[in-house]
C-alpha cells in the first residue's frame, strides 16, 4: 500500500516545479554612487553572496549593488510579476522578474519559446526601468539618453518528479533541456542537442547548470542556485559594458580618421594636438572603466565558481567583445602615437621655417647696411 500511495502522489504532483527568471539589463550612465542611492531609495546594498557549496570559497562583490524590490509589475498581455532592480556602480541597472512555473516539459518549452520569440521584453522592461530609476538620477554620473540593453532567460527548476541526480536529468531530458535553452518548440537535431549539453556543469550530483547564449537551465535548490543566478547577471552586465566601450571606441576612431583626412598637409598636422589629446582621454576613460567592470566581482578560493563564471561569460559572448575592445584600444594607441609624431614633425617644420625666415631677414638688413 505505501508504494501505491507514493505512486499516486507522484502522478498527482506536477512533473516540474520552479521559476522562470526574466533578466534585462540597461547601461544607463557612466557610474552610480551607490551609498547616496541607498539613502535616496531607503533600501539596502545587497550582502555578498555566501558559498554555493561546502567549499571554503565564495563570491564577493568589490562594490555590492543596491537592491530595490518590486512587488508588482504588469507586462502587456501577461500576468503580474514580482522581482527586483539591482544598481551596479559601473552604471548598469538590472531588472529580474520572477514567473513561477509548475507543469510538464511541453509547458516549459512553450514558455521558453514565448519569451524568446513572441515578447519584446527589452521594450517593456525599459519602460519599467526608466520609471523606477527616476529617483536615482541625482546619484548617476553622466546619465545616457539612449540605453544599451541585454536580455537573458533563466529557467530554474527545483523539482523534477521521480528524479534526483543531475546524471538522471541529463540521461532522461537532454532533448527538452536543449529546446528550453534554445527557445525552440521543434525537435532539435542530435548534434544541436549535443552542442547545447556541452555547456553543462555540476558541483554536486544533485545540481546541474546548462548555459546558452540567450538562456540557461538550472536544476538546483532555491538556496543552491542563488550564486549561479548572480554570476549569470554579472556575465551579462559585463557583455553590456564591453558593447558600450566598443561603440564608444568605434565612434571615436571614425572621428579621428575623418580628422586625419581633413587635416592633411604640414600645417594641417599642427592642429592634430587637440585630437590626440581627446583620443588619449578616451583611452584612459575606457581603460579605467574596463578595469572597473572587469574587477567588480571576486572569487575567493573557489575554482568551481570561477569555472562556472568562465563558462557563462564564454557562452554569452564576453570574451569576443572584450577582444574587440582590446583590439580597438591598440588601434587607438597607434593612432595617438601617429598623431603625436605628425604634430611633432609639423612643429619641427614650423620652427625650422621660423629660423629660415629670421636668417633671411637678417641677410636682407645686412646687405642693406642696416643692423637688424
DSSP secondary structure letters along 143-178: EEEEEEEEEEEEEEEEEETT--SHHHHHHHHHHHHH
Residue 48 C-alpha from the chain's centroid = 19
b/e map 256-289, b = 16+ CB within 10 Å: beebbeebeeeeebbebbebbeebeebbeebeeb
Burial of 240 (0-12, 13-18, 19+ CB in 10 A): buried
φ and ψ of 248, to 5 deg: -60, -45
Q: Are 159 and 16 in contact (CB under 8 A)?
A: yes
Q: Are 92 and 25 in contact (CB under 8 A)?
A: yes
φ and ψ of 145, to 5 deg: -90, -35
Compute the distance between CA of residue 144 and CA of residue 295 in angstroms, rounded to an integer: 23
Residue 79 C-alpha from the chain's centroid = 28
Compute the distance between CA of residue 66 and CA of residue 94 in angstroms, rounded to an integer: 10
Cβ neighbour number for residue 36 with a 10 Å cutoff: 14
Cβ neighbour number for residue 337 with a 10 Å cutoff: 11
- pLDDT score of 249: 83
pLDDT 10s digits, 299-349? 666 788 889 999 999 999 998 988 888 888 777 777 767 766 666 666 666
Per-10-residue mean pLDDT of the chain, 372 residues long, equals 48 78 96 93 64 54 88 82 92 96 96 94 94 93 95 97 93 96 96 97 95 97 91 93 87 77 54 64 70 66 85 93 82 72 65 77 72 52
- pLDDT score of 31: 92
Side-chain half-sphere exposure of 107, counting CA atoms within 13 A:
13
Amino acid at each position: 500500500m505505501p508504494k501505491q500511495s507514493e505512486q499516486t502522489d507522484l502522478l498527482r504532483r506536477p512533473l516540474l516545479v520552479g521559476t522562470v527568471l526574466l533578466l534585462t539589463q540597461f547601461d544607463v550612465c557612466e557610474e552610480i554612487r551607490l551609498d547616496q542611492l541607498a539613502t535616496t531609495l531607503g533600501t539596502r546594498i545587497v550582502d555578498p553572496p555566501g558559498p554555493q557549496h561546502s567549499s571554503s570559497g565564495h563570491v564577493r562583490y568589490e562594490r555590492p549593488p543596491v537592491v530595490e524590490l518590486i512587488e508588482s509589475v504588469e507586462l502587456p498581455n501577461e500576468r503580474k510579476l514580482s522581482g527586483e532592480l539591482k544598481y551596479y556602480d559601473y552604471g548598469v541597472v538590472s531588472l529580474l522578474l520572477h514567473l513561477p512555473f509548475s507543469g510538464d516539459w511541453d509547458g516549459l518549452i512553450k514558455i521558453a519559446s514565448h519569451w524568446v520569440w513572441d515578447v519584446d521584453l527589452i521594450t517593456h522592461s525599459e519602460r519599467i526601468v526608466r520609471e523606477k530609476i527616476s529617483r536615482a538620477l541625482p546619484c548617476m554620473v553622466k546619465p545616457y539618453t539612449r540605453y544599451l540593453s541585454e536580455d537573458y532567460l533563466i529557467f530554474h527548476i527545483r523539482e523534477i518528479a521521480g528524479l534526483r541526480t543531475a546524471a538522471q536529468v541529463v540521461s532522461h531530458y537532454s532533448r527538452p533541456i536543449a529546446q528550453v535553452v534554445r527557445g525552440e518548440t521543434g525537435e532539435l537535431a542530435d548534434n544541436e542537442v549535443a552542442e547545447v549539453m556541452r555547456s553543462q556543469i555540476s558541483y554536486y550530483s544533485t545540481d546541474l547548470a546548462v548555459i546558452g547564449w540567450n538562456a540557461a537551465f538550472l536544476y538546483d535548490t532555491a538556496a543552491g542556485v542563488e550564486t549561479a543566478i548572480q554570476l549569470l547577471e554579472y556575465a551579462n552586465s559585463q557583455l553590456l559594458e564591453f558593447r558600450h566601450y566598443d561603440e564608444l571606441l568605434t565612434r571615436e576612431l571614425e572621428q579621428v580618421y575623418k580628422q586625419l583626412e581633413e587635416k592633411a598637409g604640414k600645417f594641417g598636422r599642427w592642429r592634430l594636438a587637440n585630437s590626440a589629446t581627446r583620443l588619449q582621454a578616451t583611452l584612459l576613460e575606457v581603460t579605467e572603466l574596463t578595469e572597473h567592470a572587469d574587477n567588480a566581482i571576486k572569487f575567493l578560493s573557489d575554482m568551481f565558481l570561477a569555472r562556472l563564471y568562465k563558462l557563462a561569460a564564454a557562452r554569452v559572448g564576453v570574451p569576443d567583445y572584450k577582444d574587440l575592445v582590446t583590439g580597438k584600444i591598440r588601434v587607438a594607441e597607434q593612432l595617438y602615437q601617429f598623431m603625436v609624431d605628425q604634430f611633432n614633425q609639423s612643429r619641427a617644420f614650423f620652427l625650422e621655417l621660423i629660423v629660415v625666415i629670421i636668417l633671411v631677414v637678417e641677410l636682407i638688413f645686412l646687405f642693406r647696411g642696416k643692423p637688424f
